[in-house]
Amino acid sequence: MIKGIYSAFNAMEAAWKYQDSLANNIANAGTAGFKREIGAQQSFADILLSQRTPIPAPFAARVEAIVGQIGSGTFLAELTTDFTNGELQPTNGEFDFALDQGFFAAQDEQGRVFYTRGGRFGRDSAGDLVTSRGDRVLDENGATINLPPGAVHVGLDGVIAIAGQDVARLGVFDFTPNQLVRAGEAHFTSATPGTLLDGGVRQGFIEGSNSQVGEELTTMLAVTRTFQANQTVLARLDASLQQAATDIGQL
């Protein structure tokens, strides 16, 4: 009975965490360049092998004797980012950009560098190329990009030209998934320098979110039902345990 309570509780915890992630995916279905999170589930035994830390005897032996081998139940081991590309949406915007692969680089006022596929840019009052949240877009050498007055043309190679003169080249960097850490709705950080890419910049397009509302809602409904089912199981096991304790106390 105790093992059943452990299994039901941990299944509820996994469903609760996954619901939060799904809600965030739905909320950002319209965010340019957003990458959804998906849940990686494992059995408790697999997680126990990777996370268990030694407990000095004899306590470890006592826990093993009381709880037993907990090998049932599904647990949310981690949330991982789905880096598949979103749909390219034509805008014909002068400062809208999408990428075939890789990430744009941008720097905030504190000097922190972020990587994003959200290419909705603009030109601020100082002439700097900035992201939608005001971070300054970086070139291939990690420097900010200042644009003189005039119409902006950007080729597939990322070179920015104004009035026929090359001004800078957009920095586009590639990473392996495990090098990136989520740092906002459509932004990531990395402790490892990315690989500079050549080409694949599309002016006049925006990459949409790879989160599909219909799919996320369907998954959330299934997760909610899982939570409710295990909540019912937990309540019944708790009632049975309470009854057993009361009956034993009357002997």
**Whether residue 72 is found in the same domain as residue 161:** no
Residue 64, both tokens: 């093993």
How many other C-beta atoms lie within 10 A of the C-beta of residue 221? 11
Our count of domains for the chain comes to 2
**Whether residue 96 is found in the same domain as residue 181:** yes
**Whether residue 126 is found in the same domain as residue 69:** no
Per-10-residue mean pLDDT, the chain, length 251: 57 72 91 88 51 45 43 59 94 96 96 96 96 95 95 96 95 95 93 91 96 86 72 67 61 54
Please write the tens of the pLDDT for every residue from 195-211: 999 889 999 999 999 99
Is residue 232 included in any domain, yes or no?
yes
**Whether residue 92 is found in the same domain as residue 197:** yes
**Whether residue 101 is found in the same domain as residue 196:** yes
Strand partners, 16: none
Domain limits at 50? 2-83+228-249
Is residue 223 included in any domain, yes or no?
no
pTM of the model: 0.74
**Whether residue 76 is found in the same domain as residue 149:** no
* Peptide bond connecting 58 to the previous residue in cis, omega within 30 degrees of 0: yes
The DSSP secondary-structure symbol of 171 reads -
The Cα–Cα gap between 158 and 222 comes to 43
Which helix (H) or strand (E) is 60 found in, with range?
Answer: helix 59-67
- The strand order across the sheet containing 165-169 reads 152-154, 159-162, 165-169
**Whether residue 57 is found in the same domain as residue 102:** no
**Whether residue 108 is found in the same domain as residue 199:** yes
Phi, psi of 165 (to 5 degrees): -110, 130
**Whether residue 124 is found in the same domain as residue 203:** yes
**Whether residue 100 is found in the same domain as residue 78:** no
Which helix (H) or strand (E) is 22 found in, with range?
Answer: helix 2-27
Is residue 215 included in any domain, yes or no?
no
Q: Rounded to whole angstroms, what are the CA distances from 250 to 19, 241, 243, 247?
A: 43, 14, 11, 5
Quote the pLDDT of residue 232: 74
Quote the pLDDT of residue 220: 77
Q: Rounded to whole angstroms, what are the CA distances from 94 to 76, 158, 190, 218?
A: 43, 13, 29, 37
Is residue 221 included in any domain, yes or no?
no
The Cα–Cα gap between 36 and 53 comes to 32
- Give, in degrees to the nearest 5, the angle at Cα 28 between 106 and 32: 45
